[in-house]
Chains A and B, each alone.
Chain A
Amino acid sequence: MTLLAVERIKLFSTRSPWWCMALAVTLTVGMAALIAANTNDEFPLSVGVSQSFSNFGMIVIMVMAALAVTTEYRFGTIRATFLAVPGRVQALIAKTVVVAVLAGVIGEVVAFGSWGISTLIKPNADMAINSSVEWRNVAGTGLVFALSAVLAVAVGTLVRQTAGAVAILLVYALLVESLIGLIPKIGVNIQEWMPFMHANNFLTADSAALPEGAGPPRLDFPFGPWGSLAYFAAISVGLLVVALAVAKKRDA
C-alpha cells in the first residue's frame, strides 16, 4: 500500500502526466463533439460513432505510461527508487498498478465524456446504452486503456529510453498491425492474433455502428469479445513479467 502511495506521489508531482491526461481527455472528447455535430440522416450518430476517436486517447495514455518509467531511467530517479525499495519487482509493480488504474479512469472519462457530449449535441439521436454490446463499447474503454498502459510500462522498462519506447509503441500499435494486413492471404491471419486488433475487437465486436470503410477491417477473430480482452490482457501482463525479470537481473 505504501508503495502505491509512493508511486502516486511520484507520478503526480511531475508535469508530463497532467499534460498527457489533459490532452487525451480534451482532444478525444472534443473530436467526439465535432463528429456528433456533423452527423446527419446519412451518417447518423450512435453510441459506436461517439466512441470512434477513443484510440487517440489510448495512444496518448500509452505515451504517458511509457514516460512514467523512461523518465525515471533518464533522470536516475530509478536508482533512488531502488535504493529506497530494493525489491525492484514490488516497486515496478506498484508503478504499473498506479499507472494502469489512472489509465483506466481516464479511459472511462474519455468514453463517457465522448458519449455524454454527443448526447448533449444531438439529443434526438439514439444514444441509449441499452445493450451489452453498447456497454462494452463505452465502459470497456477503461479496461483497454488500463491494459495498454501495462503494455507501455513493460516496453518502457525493457527499452529504458523515451524515444525508443515511444517510437516502438506508436509505430507498432498504429502502423505495423495495420500494414501486416497488406500481406496477401496470411496477413489477415496474422492480424487475427495481434494484441491491439483484439483490444479493438473487444470494444467494437457486434457493433455495426461505424460508417463503411471508416473502421478497421472486420477480421475473423479466434475469440469472442471477452476472449479477445483476455488475450490482450495476457499479452500485456506477459510482457510485464518479462520486463520485471529483466529489471531485476540487470544493473540499475
Chain B
Amino acid sequence: MIEAIGLTKRYGTTVAVDDLSFTIAPGRVTGFLGPNGAGKSTTMRMILGLDRPTSGKALIDGKSYAQLDRPLRTVGALLDAKWVHPNRSAKAHLQWLAKSNGLPDRRVGEVLDMVGLTAVAKRRAGGFSLGMSQRLGIAGALLGDPQVLLFDEPVNGLDPEGILWIRQFMQSLAAEGRTVLVSSHLLSEMAVTAQDLVVIGKGKIISQGSTTEFIEKATENSVLVRSPHLSKLGPLLVDKGYTVRNDDDGALTVVGATSDQIGDIAGANGVVLHELSPQRGSLEQAFMQLTGDSVEYHAEIGK
C-alpha cells in the first residue's frame, strides 16, 4: 500500500506538487494520470525518497522509503529506463543492484528470463533499443520480488507489441496481490490498464476513484437524432427538460436523455425518426475537460 499525506514540493515560488493525499490499494493497477508537467514524476520521486518533500510525507506499507531495510525487496520502481550506465552490460547492472540488497545472484538470471533479455544479457546497455531498455528497467524493478511497484510512463515510445506486453505484465503483477502504481498522460491507455485512477493537474488532485466511474462521470452522454420533423420534436424534448442542440447538418444532439426515452417521446407524438444513435464523448475530450485548466503549457490550435 502506498499513502501520500499532504505531499507538497516547491521549487522557489513554483509549486510542483500541491498538498496531494491519496492511498493506493494492493491487488489493483492504479493509474496516476495527468498532463505532462502535472507533477507525476516529482510525486513518484518523493514516494521513493529521491526528492525531499517541502512538506507532507509518503509512506509505503506505513514506512517512509528511507526506513525500509533492503528497499528493493519491498518496492520496485521504473522511473527512467535510461538510468543505466551505457557501457555496463545488462547483467552487470542487475548484479550490482541485487548485491546491494542481499539478493542471490540467480535472481538476476530469473528476472532476465521474465523480461526476455537473457540472450542479450552480456551486451552493453547503451546499445539497447528503448523497448529493451524498458524491459531491463522492469527487470530491475522485479529483482527483489517486491509487493509494491511504481512505473513512470512505462509505455512512452514503445511499439504496440511492447505496450501490450507491459500492460498485461502490470495486470498480472496486480493479480498476484501486489500494489501497482503506473503513471501516464494518456487516459486511453489507462482506461484499458488501470482499475483505479488518481488524476492530477498542476500538482493538485482532480479526481480519485475507479476508472469506470471516472469515465462515466467525465464523458458526456448524448444522443444524435435525425428526423424530417425536427421542428416538432425539438420543443417536445426541451419541455421534458433535456438539453437540445441544433447541429449544422440538420440533426439534433440531445443531452440528458437516453435513446429509449427519446424514441418513446417521438412515438407518442407521431414523429418519424431517421436516426437515433447514442454518442459517447471521447476519453481524450473528457480528460481535456477535466484537466484543461490545469495544463501547464497550452498550445493554441488553429489560430
Contacts and interface: CB of A to CB of B under 8 A. Distances in A.
Interface of A: 2-3, 5-6, 9-10, 13-16, 71-72, 75-77, 79-87, 249-252
B100 A84 contact: yes
A80 B140 contact: yes
- 6 nearest A-B pairs in the assembled complex, by CB-CB distance: A76-B83, A13-B92, A84-B100, A251-B51, A9-B96, A86-B66
B84 A83 contact: no
Given A13-B92, A83-B50, A83-B72, A5 B85 contact: no
Contact of B51 (A72, A84, A252): A252
Contacts of A9: 92, 95-96, 99
A86 B96 contact: no
Chain B CB within 10 Å, residue with most, of A16, A76, A80: A80
Nearest to B67: A86
A249 B49 CA distance: 11
Given A13-B89, A77-B85, A252-B50, A83 B77 contact: yes
Contacts, number: 80
Interface in B65-102: 65-66, 68, 71-72, 75, 77, 79-80, 82-89, 92-93, 95-97, 99-102
Contact of B85 (A75, A83, A251, A252): A75
Given A9-B96, A84-B71, A14 B87 contact: yes
Contact of B50 (A5, A72, A79, A87): A79
A80 B97 contact: yes
A85 B85 CA distance: 18
A58 B45 CA distance: 38
A77 B96 CA distance: 11
B38 interface: no
Interface in B84-135: 84-89, 92-93, 95-97, 99-102
Nearest to A249: B52
Given A75-B86, A80-B140, A3 B100 contact: yes
Contacts of B79: 79
Nearest to B101: A84
B166 interface: no
Nearest to B81: A76
Interface string B138-176: 001000000000000000000000000000000000000
Given A13-B88, A76-B82, A77-B85, A84 B97 contact: yes
Given A14-B87, A15-B87, A76-B80, A86 B71 contact: yes
Contacts of A252: 45, 50-51
B48 interface: yes
19 contacts: A3-B100, A6-B96, A6-B100, A9-B95, A9-B99, A13-B92, A15-B87, A72-B85, A75-B85, A76-B80, A76-B83, A79-B80, A80-B97, A82-B49, A82-B50, A84-B71, A86-B65, A86-B68, A252-B51
Give the interface centre of B66, B93, B96, B97 by most chain A CB atoms within 10 Å. B96
B51 A75 contact: no
Contacts of A5: 99
B48 A83 contact: yes
Nearest to B66: A86
A75 to B, nearest CB: 5
Contacts of B71: 83-84, 86
| Chain A CB within 10 Å, residue with most, of B50, B86, B102 | B50
A82 B100 CA distance: 10
Given A83-B48, A251-B51, 17 more contacts: A3-B100, A5-B99, A10-B96, A14-B85, A14-B88, A15-B87, A75-B84, A75-B86, A77-B83, A81-B100, A83-B49, A83-B50, A84-B72, A86-B49, A86-B65, A86-B68, A251-B45
Contacts of A71: 85
Given A13-B89, A13-B96, A86-B65, A2 B80 contact: no
A102 to B, nearest CB: 16
Contacts of B45: 251-252
Contacts of B97: 80, 84
A15 B77 CA distance: 27
Contacts of B50: 79, 82-83, 251-252
Nearest to B89: A13
A85 B52 CA distance: 16
A22 to B, nearest CB: 15
A89 to B, nearest CB: 11
Nearest to B11: A251
B41 to A, nearest CB: 11
B105 to A, nearest CB: 11
Contacts of A87: 66
